[in-house]
């Protein structure tokens, strides 16, 4: 058993015919963001890119190539039917998903890494 990005497991299943199975119960997800710094020299180009990269259709189209779920709810109905069950954002797969608590990890990561490394050294 391991933890892994679901897209990599999907690729191993479909392209390499590996007998892996994803257990979605308790999957972990995190929130990420795009940002354009104040004073960025190409702000207009950056905003054009963000509009493109986060558009409903583009996010749905990504699922043709890898099983990473679109981040927009409006993209979900556009995901190809063959891919829906492989998406972490499919309602059946997402029902018991747990959001990573970034604040907690920010506060405790150093301590836990030290403890883990000490355990590894034994």
Per-residue pLDDT of 69-101, as tens digits, reads 888 989 999 998 889 999 998 989 999 999 999
Smallest CA-to-CA distance from 49 within 71, 34, 64 is with 34
CB contact at 8 A, 97 and 27: yes
Task: Estimate to the nearest angstrom the gap between the alpha carbon of 50 and the chain centroid.
Answer: 18
**pLDDT at residue 32 above 90?**
no
Predicted model pTM = 0.74
| Tally of CB atoms within 10 A around 80 | 10
Per-residue pLDDT of 8-28, as tens digits, reads 999 999 999 999 999 999 999
| Tally of CB atoms within 10 A around 32 | 7
| Tally of CB atoms within 10 A around 6 | 18
């Amino acid at each position: 058993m391991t933890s892994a990005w679901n897209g990599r497991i999907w690729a191993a299943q479909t392209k390499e015919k590996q007998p892996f199975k994803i257990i979605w119960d308790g999957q972990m997800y995190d929130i990420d963001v795009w940002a354009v710094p104040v004073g960025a020299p190409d702000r207009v180009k950056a905003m054009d890119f963000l509009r493109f990269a986060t558009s409903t259709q583009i996010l749905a189209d990504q699922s043709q190539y890898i099983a990473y779920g679109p981040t927009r709810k409006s993209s979900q109905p556009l995901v190809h039917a063959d891919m829906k069950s492989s998406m972490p954002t499919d309602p059946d797969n997402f029902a018991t998903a747990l959001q990573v608590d970034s604040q907690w990890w920010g506060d405790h990561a150093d301590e836990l890494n030290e403890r883990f490394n000490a355990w590894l050294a034994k």
